[in-house]
Amino acid sequence: MELRHLTSFIVVAEEQSFTRAALRLHIAQPPLSQRIRELEDELGARLFERSTRKVALTSAGRVFLDHVRALPRQIDEAVQACRRAQRGETGKLRLGYTGRASQAQLPRLLGRLRQAYPDVMLDIQGPLPTGALRLKLLQDELDAALCFLPIEGPGLQARVSLESEFAMALPASHPMARPRRLALRQLQGEPFVAYPAGQGFHLRQAMEAICRDAGFAPRVVRESEASQTLLCLIAAGVGVGLIPREIEALNIEGVVFRPLPRHARRIQHGLAWRQDNHNPALGRLLDLFGQG
């Protein structure tokens, strides 16, 4: 039994005429009659009472029509749904993000994705350190991640979207907060507050690298995953820190920022994904991300 048999049966039943049904189906009448006979033979039941004046459904034909009438429409809907999924217009997208991404990148990207592909179901995971996002990508638990770069691993790809400068953050009451210009090496020996070590925080790794470039290793006395908490610790005089420059916008009272030299290291942020991930919705996300 093929779809053409069912379609022919439904049209003949609706038209109550082989002649009109053949015209509607754009086929000759003999092939149409042959299809109906093949269907009746397969079912072992007569579907139509035929006369010179009209064609009428038998009781078996009426029961069969009740069950199959919706099939062509359902199949067409299934075909369209399949094609939309293949184009990435539907389906599921698992997106992870760091705390930095939540401030601007994530809302902007999700807004564009929702506007362009409203039927894509989003599974948003975060905020998480870049190290944790990297593991989720490698273990196929995420389709993509907004994270700090570079990110390394078998088959991982990435696109940079922005660079962050670091700045020295000091308590307003600190003697070194008075000069407008300050060399980082002058903070050697000062207690530092920082993002956690050994947990995949790129910001911690970048901070330590910047200090190494200045000739010393920072003495970290307190750690926190939250930038706002670090600024509060600095304001309280617990220590100094190296903080992404845009965090200054939090306007925490009691903290002053001093710039690093122009040649100081910066940290990149962007989108990472696995090259062998063939989720069509990921392709649509990459298209939107590439549009800036």
What domain count does the chain have? 3
Confidence check: pLDDT of 151 > 80: yes
Q: End of a domain among 87, 112, 139?
A: 87
Which residues form the domain of 283?
91-160+268-288
Same domain? 282 vs 140: yes
**Mean pLDDT, all residues of the chain:** 91
Same domain? 8 vs 124: no
pTM: 0.71
> Which CATH number is 174's domain given?
3.40.190.10
Q: What tens digit of pLDDT does each residue of 184-210 get?
A: 999 999 999 999 998 888 899 999 999
Confidence check: pLDDT of 153 > 80: yes
Q: Tell me the mean pLDDT in the region 87-100.
A: 87
| Helix 59-68 × helix 3-15 angle, to 10° | 120
Same domain? 216 vs 122: no
Same domain? 152 vs 277: yes
Same domain? 212 vs 73: no
Same domain? 187 vs 252: yes
Same domain? 156 vs 272: yes
Same domain? 175 vs 234: yes
Same domain? 120 vs 151: yes
Q: What tens digit of pLDDT does each residue of 39-93 get?
A: 999 999 999 998 877 899 999 999 999 999 988 888 887 888 788 777 777 789 9
Q: Which residues of 27-64 are buried (b: 16+ CB within 10 A; e: fewer)?
A: eeeeebbebbeebbeeeeeebbeeeeeebebeeebeeb
Same domain? 12 vs 143: no
Q: Are 283 and 88 spatial neighbours (Cβ–Cβ below 8 Å)?
A: yes
Contacts 24+ apart (CB under 8 A), 277-280: 277/140, 277/143, 279/88, 279/91, 279/92, 279/93, 279/143, 280/85, 280/86, 280/87, 280/88, 280/91
Residue 79 is predicted with a pLDDT of 81
Q: End of a domain among 59, 87, 115?
A: 87
> Which CATH number is 53's domain given?
1.10.10.10
Same domain? 171 vs 240: yes
Q: End of a domain among 47, 69, 87?
A: 87
Pairwise CA distance, residues 228 & 215, whole Å: 28
Same domain? 284 vs 141: yes
Pairwise CA distance, residues 100 & 48, whole Å: 70
